Amino acid sequence: MTSWTPDASEQTGYIALTRRIQDIILSPKAQIDHQVLISPEPGESLSQWDHLISEIRDAEGVSIRSCEDGRFLVSWFITPEN
- Residue 55's CB is within 10 A of a number of other CB atoms, namely 15
User: Across residues 5-11, what is the average pLDDT?
Assistant: 66
What is the pTM for the complete model shown? 0.81
Q: Where are the domains of the chain?
A: 8-76
pLDDT in tens, 11-51: 789 999 999 999 999 999 999 999 999 999 999 999 999 99
Helix (H, G, I), strand (E, B) or coil at 82: coil
Give the per-residue pLDDT at 77.
87
Give the per-residue pLDDT at 50.
95
* 48 burial level (CB within 10 Å; 0-12, 13-18, 19+): buried
Q: What is the mean pLDDT of the chain?
A: 89
